[in-house]
Amino acid sequence: MGLKKKVSIAVVRRLPRYYRYLADLLKLDITRVSSKELSVSMGITASQIRQDLNCFGGFGQQGYGYNVALLYNEIGNILGFNNDYQTIIIGAGNMGQALANYTNFEKRGYKLVSVFDVAPNLVGKKIKGVEIRHMDQLEEFIKNNKVDIAMLCVPYDHTPDVAERVARLGVAGLWNFSPMDLKIPYDVVVENVHLSDSLMVLGYRLNDKLKNEKQKKEKLI
């Protein structure tokens, strides 16, 4: 079941949702599911679902649907949960500490090996058993340890510099929490988290709901 072709990033971005949904089905001891059932529960059209899963060679059989456990494991493989990626967090403020406390990441193949900060009241302490080191030790640590992903939780203005510093040392993946689309002149994979984007979408949908309710009320008068 190798990849048939280059998978679009839009499809890739939907895979974690499939994965989460299939995990829920497994918990309920549901062993197979049709694209139609997936569609109703996930709010994606059945044809979109079939197309998405076809990108990966397809795991369904007509008239039978998808084997939940098989599909779950395959999507896990595709997303690379058996990768054993080692991660560091840079910036041990609230966001950095929140990430360090996410136990889910480790379950999914992302191991936190160090945290870095400059604050004297943080350096030397531990979060979840992982030491907070001073930023001065960053270069040495990365040279002596396998670090695949750096999670950047530093103040906005420092983000590009810190990103370049780790990319220069060969860290191949950056997970950026500063509200900017980070662009640096290195061949690294950058995933930017824009929390406020999600809040704006919530605001839009709320607006829409309130507007509709107002219109309904006006019609009744």
Q: Are 71 and 59 in contact (CB under 8 A)?
A: yes
Q: Least distance from C-beta 9 to a second copy, angstroms?
A: 8
Nearer CB in complex with a second copy: 135/190: 190
Q: Are 56 and 3 in contact (CB under 8 A)?
A: yes
Nearer CB in complex with a second copy: 140/206: 206
Closest CA to 146 of 57, 98, 198, 86: 86
Q: Least distance from C-beta 183 to a second copy, angstroms?
A: 10
d(CA 185, CA 20): 34
Nearer CB in complex with a second copy: 62/205: 205
Nearer CB in complex with a second copy: 124/204: 204
Q: Least distance from C-beta 13 to a second copy, angstroms?
A: 6
Task: Give the helix ranges, DSSP H, for the chain.
Answer: 9-27, 35-42, 46-54, 68-79, 94-100, 103-107, 138-144, 159-168, 195-220
Q: For 135, what's the count of Cα atoms within 13 Å in the CB-facing half-sphere?
A: 16
Q: Least distance from C-beta 134 to a second copy, angstroms?
A: 21
Binding site for a second copy (CB under 8 A): 9, 12-13, 15-17, 19-21, 78-81, 83, 85, 93-95, 97-99, 101-102, 104-105, 108-110, 148-149, 172-173, 175, 179, 181, 187, 189, 191, 193-207, 209-210
Q: For 175, what's the count of Cα atoms within 13 Å in the CB-facing half-sphere?
A: 18
Q: Least distance from C-beta 63 to a second copy, angstroms?
A: 28
Nearer CB in complex with a second copy: 136/213: 213
